[in-house]
Amino acid sequence: MTSPNIVILGDYERALRRFSNWDKLDALGNLTIHHEPLRDEALYEAVKDADAIAIVRDRAPLNEAMIARLPKLKFLMFTGERNGTLDSAALVARNIPIGVTPGGPSKETTAELTWALILGASKRIVEENKLISSGGWRDELSVLPMLAGERLGVMGLGSIGSRVARVGAAFGMEIVTWSPRMTPERAATENAKSVSLEELLKTSKVVTMHLVAGPGTKGLISADQLALMRPDSILVNTSRSALINMADLQIALKTGSPGQAAVDVFDIEPLPENDPLRNTPNLLVTPHLGFIAEPIFETFSKGITATLEAWLEDRPIPHPFKPQ
């Protein structure tokens, strides 16, 4: 009997084998793990003979046309509970079962990264480090403002936004919030004040985005909204790049409204080598680190091995996909 071909996509960090035992999968299937980004024909070549595919997050865009070109495919899974680049309906139409894994503590890690970006931007950590490494000490830009007493505008007060708000309050910041369905009562549960989007943008020292990118929020922040922001403000996005018109943001940073931005998510990931966002003044960027943490990849790795072993042994899938 021929062993099934199992293809793992998107292990950019080469982390999956570190956190669980892959011996059974290696013995039962022909296992291939891809560490580089794959799209279009390169992606097809990687998966064309796959009986089963496992994807780390949404790093391999499998649309209906691509799925139609995979007649051998019998099972697919991805890590986490949502995948924005997978046409799950096309799989369901072919009766191909779909598995997922738990997401791990990604809300906690994203809140931590949000504050790393806020503090990194407001305290000029990168610039001050470069000053030291170049032989300097302090300069005229080293006299920095404080966050205590300033206003923190939190767009979206869910699991991540509420964590970010609590840290801001601990720093002595005034917390205001907005989302499409925010109410004064909901804001009050996090000791925040519900305000209009316009007031939040005009008055906040730091604006941090924690919204789901949907029909009512995609492109929410573009030139008109950016023009409202304080010249000393910081715009932070660790949520979804679709919330901000990134071309408008680059122009706004040149004109000084907002004064700075810090971004962890991008329209195209990995960010192309020649993308101007890599070297935009007053823009602090990180390579989508919000969910990159050891506990999360341990959850992913153990979830992949447990799910694929169950599929190979014809046992129930531990975490079947549930359409949203």
DSSP E strands: which ranges in 147-277? Answer: 151-155, 174-178, 193-194, 206-209, 234-237, 260-263
- What the block records as the tokens of 53 is 């595919």
What is the C-alpha to C-alpha distance for residues 173 and 67, in angstroms, rounded to an integer?
49
Question: For residue 6, what is the enclosing H or E element?
Answer: strand 5-9
User: Hey, which residues are catalytic here?
Assistant: 240, 269, 288
Q: Which of 256, 247, 246, 244 is nearest to 213 (CA)?
A: 244
Please enumerate in sequence order all residues whose Cβ is within 8 A of that of 185, keeping only pairs 6 or more positions apart, or say none: none
Report how far apart, in Å, the C-alpha atoms of 269 and of each of 85, 143, 154, 213, 282 are: 12, 35, 25, 16, 21
Q: Label the pairing between strands 75-78 and 98-100.
A: parallel
Task: Yes or no: say if 231 and 258 are a contact pair by the CB < 8 Å rule.
Answer: yes
Q: Determine the 3-state secondary structure of 249 from DSSP.
A: helix
| Largest Cα span, the chain | 72
Strand order in the sheet with 174-178: 193-194, 174-178, 151-155, 206-209, 234-237, 260-263, 283-285
- Describe the strand order of the beta sheet including 75-78 as a list of residue ranges: 30-33, 5-9, 52-55, 75-78, 98-100
3-state secondary structure at position 253: helix
